[in-house]
Amino acid sequence: MTNVAYKDVYKRFELFTLINRRNPDWNLISQILGGVTTPDTEINGVHYLIIGSPRVIYTAHYDTAGDSDVVLQSKEYMPHIVSNSNNGILGADDKSGLTVISFMIEHHVPGLYLFFGDEESGASQSRDWAKSDFYTRYNLPIGSIKAAIAFDRKGYSDVIQTQRRSRCCSMEYAQTLSTILSMGGFHYKPADGVYTDTANMIHKIPECTNLSIGYFDQHSVTETQDMLFLQKMVNFMLNNHKTIAE
């Protein structure tokens, strides 16, 4: 069983939060990811990586809701809860998602990994991507992707089943994914969401969702991230990705 240490998850998250910008330098993001991603030749700002024969899209956005320099600080009585001591947003939305995905890439978890750079300003990149013939462009069998999972939801418990008041995944899928996640000691359940990049994929991918990853008060100076929860999610994905992709 793979067990990534807390200090390693913390350090990776800290590196990503140092690039806390509305329009970040992708090259800096790519370096933390290992420099292995490829720019999409058709959709400017989109980067991707294919590992194995993917059945699932895993996605996070690399822009944030503000331009804040970040210095991590922990709550006095809850050292695993971090915020930005610099009186600015933390950027856990969505540097936490990048952290999870970075370890999945490092451990060669099969998937189509997508990175979008304008989720906070309209998500035009994922919208254009979903309209394109990505199966042909990426040389993937048509219809081979069964689900798209974003790591971009506040809280501890949501498997998002609706976005923009429309169903983005079936109730059956949301319940099944909640049950799988419960194997890791989580308490997920189907929930209604607002909007992230997977909302733009619902006409191309059968099941599209977004998972809570332990941040709160996003887009504000009180934003926090539960680092123990983030570590737990990293290790769950590394050890249970085959079940999720079935």
- Token match 């992708």: residue? 26
Distance from C-alpha of 6 to C-alpha of 123, rounded to nearest angstrom: 32
pTM: 0.97
Give the pairing type, strands 111-116 and 47-51: antiparallel
State the pLDDT at residue 66.
87
Q: What is the mean pLDDT of the chain?
A: 96
CA dist., res. 148 & res. 111, Å (int):
10
User: Hey, what are 4's tokens?
Assistant: 């990534």
Confidence of residue 150 (pLDDT cuts 50, 70, 90): very high
Angle (CA) 127-134-54 rounded to 5° is: 110
Q: How far apart are CA 129 and CA 200, in angstroms?
A: 9
Using pLDDT thresholds of 50, 70 and 90, give the confidence band for residue 173: very high
* Predicted local distance difference test score (pLDDT) of residue 41: 86
Which pLDDT band, with edges at 50, 70 and 90, does 184 fall under?
very high
**Residue 238 in this model has a pLDDT that exceeds 90:** yes
pLDDT in the model for residue 40: 92
- Burial degree of 7 (CB within 10 A; 0-12, 13-18, 19+): exposed
- Please tell me the distance from the alpha carbon of residue 148 to that of residue 210, in angstroms, as a whole number: 8
pLDDT over 90 at 35, yes or no = no
Residues whose CB is less than 8 angstroms from the CB of residue 133 and which lie 6 or more positions away in sequence, other chains included? none
Residue 76 has pLDDT above 90, yes or no: no
Q: What is the mean pLDDT of residues 213-238?
A: 97
Percentage above 70 pLDDT, the chain: 100
pLDDT value at position 20? 86
197: confidence class by pLDDT, cuts 50, 70, 90: very high
The structure tokens listed for 54 are 């993917």
SS3 for 5-37 is CHHHHHHHHHHHHCCCCCCCCHHHHHHHCCCCC
Q: Look up tokens 């504000």; give the residue.
A: 220
